[in-house]
Amino acid sequence: MEIKLCSLIALLGFLTIANAQTVFDITKCGATPNSDITAFQILTKTWTDACASPTGATIVIPAGTYKCGVVEFKGPCKGPITFQVDGTLQAPTSPDGDSWITFCSFENLAVTGTGTFDGMGSAIYGKQKSKAVNLRFNFITNGHMEGVTSKDSKEFHVNVLGCKNLTISKFTVCAPADSPNTDGIHLGRSNGVQILDTKIGTGDDCISVGDGMEQLTVERVTCGPGHGISIGSLGQYAGEMPVKGIFVRNCTLVNTQNGVRIKSWPDQEANDVSDIHFEDIVLDNVDNPIIVDQMYCPSNLCKSKGASKVTISNVSFKNIRGTCKLPEAITMTCSSAHPCTNVEMCDIDIKCTTGPAKAVCTNVKPVITGIMNPPGC
């Protein structure tokens, strides 16, 4: 009855306020904060009503904690949707499938607020495996996420697939350094994505770029703890699409396992990586600051140790400075079958806190300008 009443109130509001977005406050639709009763049914019904509003709608999750099961918010919708989270949405401890909350197949989405998507992963880290990603953005055009936090996801915090013109800004990712496979933001097969003014601390890559990613801008991101900012891994699966036009600028990495990295599997599948640029990067106690690893083989899962079939070209590392923990500040292991080409290094100044830093480069001859510390390539 409460859900029907909520729909009626929203409809009356729409009829009396011309050209204004309808507002759906889930507490006025029957959801109770800080309750053991799930808000799943109310959220799904509210989404259906909001999606039907021709002038668009705002769904509000006010302060408080709301339990929510696995849900897909799917379009197309008749107007733009704002999903405003000011409270905490809390995932089930053991969700089915590989997703918790998915936004799918529509245009003009905004996910905003000061609230939190709590994946409840801390309850299972090291105990059981779950593949539930906190937030999936699938096939969204003209989207924006700002201000919210993703906490303790059981798998990736955010997965972006098939999106166009998506901006993620002032976003926070929070998970322990030992949380497994919890990439902050993973992206693939999308075009025109921006990640801005964001803070990511997690147990895997802060940002990971999969196949088919084009025109990605990452600016003013702070990463740590985590495994750094990575292109790849690539070359593992048949049918992968090229990666090109990746710009990482003005980012800071603190106490991370890696800094900026490109990684591909040995002797499996072909792919092409080009037009990749890392610029104005600050390193603070990073294990391995600059890495190109074309022999990437986690847990010895490679079918072969032969040369990678992935080509890497038109890559630049500029104005990268700070401190590292391990001696190999720069490690570039390119493919013997497809050596890296058109690689530029300019104004690199990395100091090792445990001894002399060094650079090791294989199957690549970078063009070096300005400061080059450590030398060796």
Active site residue ranges? 227
Cα 353 to Cα 180: distance, rounded to the nearest angstrom: 27
Report whether 206 contacts 182 (CB < 8 A): no
Instruction: Report which of 51, 54, 184 is spatially closest to residue 109, judged by C-alpha positions.
Output: 51
Of 305, 224, 213, residue with least CA distance to 257: 224
Contact 247, 213 (CB under 8 A): no
Distance CA 134, CA 181 (A): 12
Helix (H) or strand (E) holding 45: helix 40-51
DSSP single-letter state for residue 121: G
Classify each residue of 144-168 as buried b or exposed e, where b means 16 or more C-beta atoms within 10 Å of its C-beta: bbbbbbbbbbbbbbbbbbbbbbbbb
The pairing of beta strand 164-169 with beta strand 149-151: unpaired
Helix (H, G, I), strand (E, B) or coil at 146: strand
The CA distance from 23 to 272, in Å, is 46
Cα–Cα distance between 10 and 29 in angstroms, integer? 10
Cis omega (within 30 of 0) for bond into 7: no
Minimal CA–CA distance to 163: which of 185, 134, 181? 185
Quick check: 329 and 358 in contact, CB under 8 A? yes
| Kind and range of the H or E run holding 220 | strand 214-223
